[in-house]
Amino acid sequence: MASTAMPTRDDFAALLDKSLGESQSFEGKVVKGRVTAIENDLVVIDVGLKSEGRVSIREFTPPGQAPQVTVGEEVDVYVDRVENAFGEAMLSRDRARREAAWDKLETQFNAGERVDGTIFGRVKGGFTVDLGGAVAFLPGSQVDIRPVRDVTPLMGIAQPFQLLKMDRKRGNIVVSRRSILEETRAEARTGLIQSLSEGQVIDGVVKNITDYGAFVDLGGIDGLLHVTDMSYKRVGHPNEVINIGDTVKVQIIRINRDTQRISLGMKQLESDPWEGADAKYPVGAKLKGRVTNITEYGAFIELEPGIEGLVHVSEMSWVKKNVHPGKIVSTSQEVDVVVLEVDGEKRRISLGLKQAQRNPWEVFAEEHPVGSVVEGEVKNSTEFGLFIGLPGEVDGMVHMSDIAWGVSGEAALALHHKGEMVKAQVLEVDVERERISLGIKQVSAEGAAASAGAGASAAAPVASAGGLSKNEVVTAIVRESRDGGIEVQIGEDGPTAFIKRSDLSRDRDDQRPERFQIGQKVDALVVGFERGKKPMLSIKAMQIAEEKQQVAQYGSSDSGASLGDILGAALNKAKQDS
């Protein structure tokens, strides 16, 4: 019988080194172990080392669930250290699951595959997701396609996610639920859009309303219902026709399969009111309408729902020219209009507002024939005459040669002022050119006498104040000389008046205030009265009137006498009379 040799000291050292080496090779690795016991909140696991390890039972509890571990079960654990200060192995179930999960996730990330996970917590800026052991970050913007106010219904439910970013060294994983939903919706949209066709009528639900239209859900894909396709009548805002949540019947107008955009229409399901518009609205027809919109160039009139015509600003009033349409009509006002032009193809109707009323110049011509006398207010004075306001809101013009007998030009214009009421004779009415010619001098008795050759003086007085009469020659005393004219007083105790520089003389060289001395007496013609009854005087008008009178008395158009001869004869006669 062979004898057994006793192990030497060196043999024991070699066995110890081998045992320690094998134990140290476990550290930093995931190994299999068996659950030998569950003590309170600790799970005892044997991994084949000198001593067992203990792991918290929480590492065997999935988020929101009960612990999932039993005695005798084999589990994967991560060996952090073979032996700690108490001689026990330091193990981690979470680390083992995390390492295994990272290996799997890296493979799926590189392949672009989706992963399953569960939202279990909320952190700043987003949420935490359990990916089978690895914890990922789900940004708030990646939860859904649209902002989600309450994520509670989504928590604790296994669902797919897309891996956006992985960094194993830093332990960072970013996932997205939104990209999964977008892909799913895109697939559904592609399938749905292939089943739709232009001209198809379909029901949809109004999801959103903007200023330019509404978005309608067609069962997974949205279509745009533009405001111009909601109704044939004018629509100011889409909410006048529809509201969010309404179920509407629409027709597909256009489909762009490349961009997956769909244009919808509601008015296409109604009869087109423009069909037969040429027959319904013949040129010259007088109609009633409602003002729907006012612009700088005119007003739109609704003749019936869906049909509007334009009244251009030039066709709005006979007498109000170059004014904003808003000063003639107002929105929603009922008006009478006349059809001027119809273009059914272009869907345009031109209307006239003034044509629905009689031409005021025609009315005036009927009520005030040539030769009749009218009374009106002086509206304006121009370099060639006066404009008089007449009945029917029309104006007539008095040429400066028809203002007064023996007076013309600026002197004649100075006889009347704005706001004064005057009488005039109708000389001519031109309806087509919208012109009325009047004459003031034709209504005076002296004018009639002059026309009969009786020899006329200035026009008869038509106004008076303070004992003075218009067209009367008075003697005044110069009280003050200014740059713009002279201040005079009629008589010693009479009223004062101011004679403008331009009225100081017919001769422009003598229109100098400085040639008049204080206290000097001057003769002037009363050409009118101011609103305060203060007389208005003119030396120039007096000189013109005297000259006209001398011509009437001493000369004629065929006598051959010159103006110098006539004035010389007049002066000689004046000397003899004196």
**Residues 164, 225 within the same domain:** no
Residue 568 lies in a domain: no
pLDDT band at 276; cut points 50, 70, 90: confident
Residue 8 lies in a domain: no
- Arithmetic mean of pLDDT, 126-155: 89
Residue 100 lies in a domain: yes
**Residues 288, 343 within the same domain:** yes
Nearest partner of 230 among 222, 220, 242, 221, judged by Cα: 242
**Residues 385, 327 within the same domain:** no
End-of-domain residue from the set 451, 477, 492: 451
Nearest partner of 372 among 387, 390, 386, judged by Cα: 390
- At residue 557, the pLDDT reads 41
- Arithmetic mean of pLDDT, 254-272: 85
Residue 249 lies in a domain: yes
Alpha carbon 15 to its chain's center: 94
Q: Containing domain of residue 48, as a range?
A: 27-111
> H or E stretch including 277?
helix 277-280
- At residue 17, the pLDDT reads 47
Measured CA angle at 283 (ends 280, 285), to 5 deg:
70
Q: Which amino acid is at 496?
A: T
Task: Return the higher-pLDDT residue of 429 and 84.
Answer: 429
- Arithmetic mean of pLDDT, 298-310: 89
**Residues 288, 307 within the same domain:** yes
* Token pair for 513: 């205030």
- At residue 455, the pLDDT reads 37
- Arithmetic mean of pLDDT, 166-171: 86
**Residues 33, 96 within the same domain:** yes
Total number of domains in the chain? 6
The yes-or-no verdict on residue 123 having pLDDT over 60 is yes
Alpha helices of 223-263 — where are they, by DSSP H?
A: none
Return the SS3 of 498. Answer: strand
The yes-or-no verdict on residue 50 having pLDDT over 80 is no
- At residue 176, the pLDDT reads 94
pLDDT band at 555; cut points 50, 70, 90: low
Query: How far is 489 from 478, CA to CA, in rounded Å?
Result: 7
Measured CA angle at 233 (ends 231, 236), to 5 deg:
85
Task: Return the higher-pLDDT residue of 364 and 19.
Answer: 364
Establish how many alpha carbons lie within 13 A of residue 556's alpha carbon, considering only the half-sphere containing its beta carbon.
4
**Residues 103, 122 within the same domain:** no
* Token pair for 218: 């067609």
Mean pLDDT of the chain: 81
- Count how many residues are written for the chain: 578
Task: Return the higher-pLDDT residue of 31 and 94.
Answer: 31
Task: Return the higher-pLDDT residue of 445 and 28.
Answer: 28
Minimum mean pLDDT among 305-314, 361-370, 457-466, 568-577: which range?
457-466
**Residues 389, 446 within the same domain:** yes
**Residues 220, 164 within the same domain:** no
Contact call for residues 376 and 418 (beta carbons, < 8 A): no
- At residue 452, the pLDDT reads 42
Residue 544 lies in a domain: yes
End-of-domain residue from the set 269, 287, 305: 269
Q: Please list the residues that pair with 458 across neighbouring strands.
A: none
Q: Please list the residues that pair with 281 across neighbouring strands.
A: none
Contact call for residues 105 and 134 (beta carbons, < 8 A): yes
260-297: string of b/e by CB count within 10 Å (b at 16+)?
Answer: eebbbbbbeeeeebbeebeebbeeeeebebebeebeee
Task: Return the higher-pLDDT residue of 9 and 399.
Answer: 399
Residue 352 lies in a domain: yes
The yes-or-no verdict on residue 19 having pLDDT over 80 is no
- Arithmetic mean of pLDDT, 444-459: 44
Query: How far is 154 from 119, CA to CA, in rounded Å?
Result: 7
What's the burial of 233, exposed, middle or buried (CB within 10 Å: 0-12/13-18/19+)?
middle
Phi, psi (degrees; rounded to nearest 5) at 13: -65, -40
Query: How far is 97 from 77, CA to CA, in rounded Å?
Result: 8
Residue 19 lies in a domain: no
Residue 312 lies in a domain: yes
Q: pLDDT by residue (tens digit) across 205-240? A: 998 999 899 999 887 788 899 998 888 887 888 988
- Arithmetic mean of pLDDT, 125-136: 89
- Arithmetic mean of pLDDT, 178-196: 82
End-of-domain residue from the set 182, 207, 238: 182
**Residues 313, 385 within the same domain:** no
- At residue 16, the pLDDT reads 45
- Arithmetic mean of pLDDT, 550-562: 53
Q: Which amino acid is at 140?
A: G
Nearest partner of 54 among 98, 88, 97, 95, judged by Cα: 88
- Arithmetic mean of pLDDT, 400-422: 83
Query: How far is 283 from 339, CA to CA, in rounded Å?
Result: 5
pLDDT band at 118; cut points 50, 70, 90: very high
Alpha-carbon Rg for the chain, nearest whole angstrom, is 54
The yes-or-no verdict on residue 190 having pLDDT over 70 is yes
- Arithmetic mean of pLDDT, 451-480: 63
- At residue 4, the pLDDT reads 52
Tell me the CATH number at 48: 2.40.50.140
**Residues 107, 118 within the same domain:** no
**Residues 141, 72 within the same domain:** no
- Arithmetic mean of pLDDT, 133-148: 88
**Residues 75, 99 within the same domain:** yes
Return the SS3 of 26. Answer: coil
Query: How far is 71 from 38, CA to CA, in rounded Å?
Result: 7
